[in-house]
Every structure is written in C-alpha cells, then in structure tokens.
A and B are shown apart, each in its own frame.
Chain A
C-alpha cells in the first residue's frame, strides 16, 4: 500500500459496491421477468468488479470482504437495506445509482487516485441509473398498485439518502454540488413518474452516526453472517 492511496475513501466506495452487489445477487432466480434476471445480475457484476478494484487499493480483497466485523464496514446504510419488493429494489437503485454516477463523473474528470476506476465505472453506472429511471417511470406510471408500491418504497428509503453527502476522508469531491445535482436529478425522475418527492428528513433522528462510521442497521449483520460463513469456516484455505 502506498501512502497516496486514500484508504478510508477506497473502503467507503468499495463497501458500497460490495454490499449492493450482494443484495442484487439475492434476486437471482427470483426476478419478476427473465430480462430482469439478466439486468440485475449485470448490475451486480459491475458493482462487484468495482468493489474488487477498490478493496484491492486498500488491502487484500478477500480479507476485507470476509474477515472484517460489521462495525469495520463503512458502506452507506442505504445499500445494505433488504431487497423488499421490486419497488424497494428500484428505489434503492435510483437513489444510489444517481449518486454513484454523479460521483464517478466528477472523479473521472479529475486526476486523483480514483480517476482510472471512475472512468470505467461512470459508463457502467450510467446504465444502472438509466435502468433504475426507466423502471421508476414504469412503476410510477403503470398501475395503481405499482404507483402505490413505488411511492411507499421511495418514501421508506428517503431517510437513508442524506448520508451520501457526508464528507469522506480522501474523496475530495464537492459534496454541496453533488447533493444539489442529486436532488435535481432524482426529483426530475420522480416528477416524470408522477411520484411525489418525499418530504421527510434525509437522515434519521439518531445522530450517533451511520454507515460511514461503521454503524449499520440490523439486517446487515445477518447479511454478513451469510456472506462470510463459508470463508470463515476454513481459516487460511484458498478457493
């Protein structure tokens, strides 16, 4: 590891990608239509690829993924949220992919340590964002039931969105501009889909911190237990 690698930032972005990839992987064999089996797996694979590059910047990818405890992960709470119904998954994708796309576009334009990764990832996340936007439109505009479910999902996940704009050591992005761009973009999609922009706070009332500080929600521990069990059962083994 060289002194120039911003480990905190690499872990934060890497953990986001790793955890969301895992959640999307849970859909495989359960998606509502065959095309979505392919699309969700595609997104999960892109994210896993990003995670592997980012975690490798910070250390050994498998040690970091499989041998850290819950409190050592610095992903956003948003990405660890259970899949819920398809509307929840799409709302999570809309919020996260918009953030990730704007963030990587900015990083790709710079010459920092994440520029090379971001140049590739910005193309991938453009597709993820498009996928989420198109489904937000379909579900918001489709039937009464889909509208209701999409509205519920967007509202339920809104309180996890504020965390995306907290400073991350070593990231060096303009968070104010990122937040403004995100609110505009997400607001525009929701309006086109006939959905209200949620009005609640973008973070919970509990101010002890959140995912970036290693404080997670209850489902995350169970997710890690499943993800890490086999690796931890065979200490030192190669796979």
Chain B
C-alpha cells in the first residue's frame, strides 16, 4: 500500500475532488477508482475484521453440531455454520479487491494483529446458546450490517446485501429455537432464560463503544462507510428486542429497561465497558481457545494446501496454481 507521506500532486488534488464528489453524490467507489490511502486502510481493517468474525464465529456454534437434539435442528445449524464460512469467503474476496490477499489477512488474524468481533470470545454452554446467538448476536449483526448495504465501497456493499439476507434467516432460526425451548418443559425454559441472561449484555456491546469514545466513527461517517452512530444502532436494537422478548416469554436481564414515552425509545441500564475492554484486550473467557483452534486448523491443514498447490503447479495448463478461491465447479474441472 502507498505511504501516506508522499507529497500530493495536482493530479492527487483532482482525484481527491472526484472521490469526494462521488461520495457526496452517494455513488459507489469501485476497486479501480482512485481512493485516499486512509479510506482504503479503513476498509481493509473493517472488512478483514468482519471476515475474521465470520470464521471465528463458526466455532461457538459448531461446538453444538454434534449434539444438536433433533435432526431438523442439526440440519439448520450445519447450514448456518456453512453460511458463515461462505460469508468469510465473500468478505475475504471483497478485501482482495483492495489489494490484500486472504493469506496475508489470515496471518494477521493468527498473529493477533487484526481482531474479530469480541462476542465470539464468550462460550456456548448449553443448546439454548445456539438460539441466543441467532436471536441476539445475529440480530445485532443485522442491525449493524443492513446500513452497510449502502456503504460507499461497492464490493463491500454488494457482499453485504447477500450476507444480510442469510443473516436474517439465522436470526429467525434463533428466535424460533428459543421459542420452542421457552414453550417446552420447565428445564428447557430455564435453559433458554439462562442463555438470554448471559448473551444480552455482550450483544449490546457489539455496537462498539459509546459515540463520544468511538475512535473511528467520525471519519467513517464522512466517507459514508458508516451510516449511523454506535449509540443509534444500539438503541434501535434494544427497541426491536424488547417486544420480541415478551413474545418469547423470556425476560431481559436489565432492571432499568423501560419505555420512555418522551424519547419514544426504551431506556436501558449502564453497560459494563470494563468487561468489554477486558475481552478486547484478550481476557475474555475464550480468546485463547478461539485463536488456538483457528491456528491449529490452519497449521494442520498446511500440508493439504501445499499438496493442492503442488498438484496444480504440475498441471498448470489445466488448473489454477492456487488453492484458494476455487468454486465447486472449478474443483470438478481441475
């Protein structure tokens, strides 16, 4: 990536004006368009973090695939975790359009130089956690991601359209799973309530720090990468969840939660930002396990990727000498 310190030329000034005008007019910036280095870097950081969150996020749910309590639930859960791998693929591809390859990004994830959503550092202790993740975590993710479908960077916006469609299925299956538990035996109902009690506050933290402490918000908003503030989105999410919790027959673990007629929104209690910061720093319940499993899968798979690359190189007339980025069809034709 170009350094930010190079002196600006008259051409740069003209490019900058074209870029600014496109953003102002709500046009999409495309991979071959000129863009400021900092815009590119911000997108790479955000898209990479999003992609990493998809693949790390497979772990807490995959934890329950082998124990899913009915074949229908097992099929739904496998399809969901598969979707997450697919989202990872689209998003790494979107990052590639900015000139960064998947291997480089994975390396940064594995070495701790890039982050993933902190929510996945919490454990899935019971089957109901699968439902709570769908309802609350995917619900929060959709609230964050729907505005990204209008993000100024074209490939990211387009990837998000598809991701959001699938996420909305994920959210619904989580709600439906919790509903079945809530209406089930007393043991099942208790399991659902316990999961919601544990996932509610971490879900609210998914919107990031309060607006006055958010490091990247102002510039991202100016570039139309970000469309709404953290606190606005958090409020929207709370307002959506309160009636849904009621329909589920479950309570949200916040004694301060109540409708505020004047604001036209629900008030809610203070968020424990100390916990948030600790989990981001690496002190959450599963930070170590998540990254260790990811590194292990990558390291243990190295010989497979090397074999595929060696085979492709020997037959480079008929197949791409590259293990990543194959479609199923291409595998069949290799």
A51-B71, A146-B303 are known contacts. Are A237 and B188 too (CB-CB below 8 A)?
Answer: yes
Contacts of A166 in B (CB 8 A): none
- Distance (whole angstroms) from the CB of B178 to the closest CB of chain A: 11
Confirm or deny: B221 has a beta carbon within 8 angstroms of a beta carbon on chain A: no
- Distance (whole angstroms) from the CB of A53 to the closest CB of chain B: 11
A138-B308, A146-B304 are known contacts. Are A226 and B67 too (CB-CB below 8 A)?
Answer: yes
Partner pick for B85 among A38, A138, A139, A142, CB 8 A cutoff: A38
Q: A230 near B185 (CB under 8 angstroms)?
A: no
Q: A32 near B300 (CB under 8 angstroms)?
A: yes
Contacts of B88 in A (CB 8 A): 34
Interface size class of A (residues with CB under 8 A): 35 or more
- Distance (whole angstroms) from the CB of A68 to the closest CB of chain B: 13
- Distance (whole angstroms) from the CB of B334 to the closest CB of chain A: 6
Q: A34 near B324 (CB under 8 angstroms)?
A: yes
Complex Cα–Cα for A143 and B127 (A): 42
How many residues does chain B have at the interface if contact means C-beta atoms less than 8 Å apart? Answer: 59
Q: A239 near B326 (CB under 8 angstroms)?
A: no
Confirm or deny: A124 has a beta carbon within 8 angstroms of a beta carbon on chain B: no
Q: B303 near A145 (CB under 8 angstroms)?
A: yes
Per the 8 Å Cβ criterion, residues 269-313 of B in contact with A are 293, 296-298, 300-312
Complex Cα–Cα for A229 and B64 (A): 12
When C-beta atoms are compared, the residue in chain B nearest to A85 turns out to be: B300
Q: A29 near B79 (CB under 8 angstroms)?
A: no
Confirm or deny: B23 has a beta carbon within 8 angstroms of a beta carbon on chain A: no
Per the 8 Å Cβ criterion, residues 135-192 of A in contact with B are 137-139, 141-143, 145-146, 149
Per the 8 Å Cβ criterion, residues 27-79 of A in contact with B are 28-39, 41-42, 44-45, 48-49, 51-52, 55, 61-62, 65-66
Confirm or deny: B263 has a beta carbon within 8 angstroms of a beta carbon on chain A: no
- Distance (whole angstroms) from the CB of A21 to the closest CB of chain B: 8
Q: B306 near A134 (CB under 8 angstroms)?
A: no
Confirm or deny: B111 has a beta carbon within 8 angstroms of a beta carbon on chain A: no
User: Interface 1/0s, chain A 226-237, versus B by CB < 8 A?
Assistant: 110111001011
Q: A30 near B75 (CB under 8 angstroms)?
A: no
When C-beta atoms are compared, the residue in chain B nearest to A65 turns out to be: B71
- Distance (whole angstroms) from the CB of B71 to the closest CB of chain A: 5
Contacts of A44 in B (CB 8 A): 78
When C-beta atoms are compared, the residue in chain A nearest to B307 turns out to be: A142
- Distance (whole angstroms) from the CB of B82 to the closest CB of chain A: 4
Q: A137 near B311 (CB under 8 angstroms)?
A: yes
Partner pick for A139 among B55, B67, B293, B304, CB 8 A cutoff: B304
When C-beta atoms are compared, the residue in chain B nearest to A150 turns out to be: B307
Contacts of B323 in A (CB 8 A): 33, 35
- 19 extra interface residue pairs, beta carbon distance < 8 Å, beyond A37-B82, A141-B311: A18-B71, A28-B62, A28-B81, A29-B59, A29-B81, A29-B297, A32-B305, A34-B324, A48-B74, A49-B75, A52-B71, A130-B332, A131-B331, A138-B311, A145-B307, A227-B67, A229-B67, A234-B187, A237-B188
User: Which 7 A-B residue pairings sit nearest by Cβ, starting from the closest?
Assistant: A32-B301, A142-B307, A146-B307, A41-B82, A37-B85, A32-B304, A29-B62
